[in-house]
Structure 1
Amino acid sequence: MGRRQREAPPPQPSPPPPDEELDIAAFSDLLRPKGLSIRDVANDGNCFFRAVSDQLYGCEDEHVNLRQLACDYLQQHADHYQHFIDEEQSFDEYVNEMRNDAVWADNLELQAISMACNVNIRVHQSGKPSYDIRNHPANNARAIHLSYHFAEHYASVRPLHTADLDGPAHHHPLPPPLPRPPSRNEPQQNEPPVEDNSSRTLRFRKKTQQHSVSSLWKRAERAHHDVSAIVEKARRAAKNVESSSRGAKDATSTAHAIDKDMKAARKRLETFAETIAFGRSAHRQRGRKNARESKLRLFTSGSASSENDSCSTQLDEGSDDEERYQSCVHRQTATICDALSAIERNALDALDKLEHLERGSKHSHAKHSKGSKRKEQDTRKKERKERRRRAQESVARGETENLCPANIPRLHELDIAI
């Protein structure tokens, strides 16, 4: 008998070329080794909200409520999102138009759904790397997975074990992003920190002229991280002073006021973090959109002469649009940095006050403990004198029945001596 040949494993679907997109069925087969499967939804202009409804509720029927929920969130936080709308249309007009049925969702709606529904979103793309929208810690938020096809259609990506079920899709939380190596434009870790906090805004504005838009958002995010650490340190110091001050009303009230201010500053920092995260995500989406449009222009151009003429005019328009976009990002990041520098100055002043209060409370506590020890010693002396006086009076009266047994032999000796 011959040796039995080993069966070959089933062929795995090959990944598409970088510039080619697959249809939904082929892309679903490509995601199957990762334990995922695509469930398509109706392509009626509500595909994004239908896909989110399938992820959260297991059906597409809640897409109307999710659309209104996202629009309500945008309307309530208009101050943070109105800067990302084109100048040709007001923010209220944009939101009112988005409330209508079959209006395509944009990047604003992804952010609004992430914030309103307390979810993190991962978007899978054929021929391109997936990207995440992270607005919440992984331990406190659900994760939903969507797929984006041909720059016009969303679908629901479910785990294989729930692909044929009607319930919601249960995904594992998104893993933390991998740390990126510092670029040449970013400062190294061994650089000495700058002591002058008042000139942070001036230094920021000088450096923004030398870097790209992505580096602007990175610098704003790093400044936000530093200021958040200072605010948290001031808040903990206020809690310590408030708990350690023994009866000092002034110190307690001051520490309580500082703690209240730091809580308000932390809320403002949360809004800034949301704006920075949205700005970076919008910049990535803009880069992908520009790349797609440039490819479409190359493939749909006609003759060589018409192609050169159209490309020159489109490049001029694109350069003007890019300049306006960069100036808008410059203004936003400069405004955020101004606010962060003001919060940082307030937090540093609060730390100085708390340090002074802590030194004063330690000194007063030492004096208080020293005085209380003296009072306790004086009280004990008085009690001993009082006991001796009562014992002498009882001995003089001959009252031995109320005395302790240790004193009775001494009284008998006293009687015999008498």
Structure 2
Amino acid sequence: MSDVNRNASASSSSSLNSSTNDTEDDHTIAEILAEEEKLSHDNRKLGKRLSHLDSIPHTPRVIGDIPDPNDATLDHERLAQRLATYSLAEMQIEGDGNCQFRALADQLYQNPDYHKFVRKQVIKQLKRHRRLYESYVPMRYKHYVKKMKRLSEWGDHVTLQAAADRFEAKICLITSFRDTGYIEILPNDRSPVRELWLSFWSEVHYNSLYQAGEVPTRTQRKKHWLF
């Protein structure tokens, strides 16, 4: 066999093995996370306690302008005051560009390290249901999805809507916006089966929310080989 044919054969075999491994990984990780989700805390008690909050209709959108440092500081102070008023506390999430997906992973699976899996599921949702999201994306849709697929790419309100749809969740945001302190993101055409609570320091950072005094201590878990 020539070197060219040998290399082509090896490349084909490698691609096939990679595809097979990816499929096996998906199945394994789904089983792992499904089992861990059974142990998830029920954040619906937050919803009951804060049911008086008024939410505006959510419109998915991409990331807007990043505030200048002075405005960002004021926004953060406003958010901190709101959280104190509602007796909420933040699980601090790493600010590595994956914070939205890390915060969602913490709420879903009590482990921010599962952010890669959450992002992967959101990307699948965006690809399979393009018609639901394309009109909110002011660029070529394929380019947007390809960009969002990359690790450390910041999530936006389009990916939040896709996450709400994929995980059948009501995503509750306490925000730093001056006029919109609370936003609910509901799944399309179905009733939510879970609630996820996040704080949103506008266009800067997401954290995972709990009742004050109930923020869990996350011990360093042994990472599954899939991650």
Same fold? TM cut 0.5:
yes
Rg bigger for which structure? Answer: 1
Q: 1:105 aligns with which of 152, 155, 162?
A: 155
Shift of residue 107 of structure 1?
Answer: 1.5
Matched residue of 2:216: which SS?
coil
Question: Structure 1: how far apart are the matches of 2:86 and 2:126?
Answer: 34
Question: Structure 2: how far apart are the matches of 1:122 and 1:135?
Answer: 12
Question: Structure 1: how far apart are the matches of 2:140 and 2:90?
Answer: 36
Residue aligning to 1:84: 136
Q: Does 1:116 align with 2:170?
A: no
Shift of residue 132 of structure 1?
Answer: 0.9
| Structure-2 change in CA distance of 1:150 and 1:73 (3 Å) | closer
Write out aligned runs for 1:119-130 (5 A): 119-126=169-176, 127-128=178-179, 129-130=181-182
Q: TM-score, normalised by structure 1?
A: 0.32
Write out aligned runs for 1:374-413 (5 A): none
Q: 2:74 aligns with which of 1, 17, 20?
A: 20
Q: TM-score, normalised by structure 2?
A: 0.57
Question: Structure 1: how far apart are the matches of 2:206 and 2:200?
Answer: 5
**What 5-or-longer segments of structure 2 have no aligned partner?**
1-72, 220-227
Aligned amino acid, residue 99 of structure 1: K
Q: Does 1:74 align with 2:126?
A: yes
Q: Does 1:96 align with 2:146?
A: yes
| Bigger relative contact order (CA 8 A; separation at least 6) | 2
Larger deviation: 77-86 or 132-141? 132-141
Aligned amino acid, residue 76 of structure 2: L
Shift of residue 159 of structure 1?
Answer: 2.1
Shift of residue 79 of structure 1?
Answer: 2.2
Matched residue of 1:61: which SS?
helix
Write out aligned runs for 1:306-317 (5 A): none
Aligned amino acid, residue 144 of structure 2: Y
What's the C-alpha RMSD, in Å, of the aligned pairs? Answer: 2.7
Shift of residue 29 of structure 1?
Answer: 6.0
Aligned amino acid, residue 109 of structure 1: T
Shift of residue 34 of structure 1?
Answer: 2.5
| Structure-2 change in CA distance of 1:78 and 1:122 (3 Å) | same
Write out aligned runs for 1:6-17 (5 A): none
Write out aligned runs for 1:46-57 (5 A): 46-57=98-109
Does structure 1 retain, via aligned residues, the 8 Å contact 2:89–2:213?
no
Question: Structure 2: how far apart are the matches of 1:44 and 1:102?
Answer: 6
| Structure-2 change in CA distance of 1:80 and 1:150 (3 Å) | closer
Higher helix share: 1
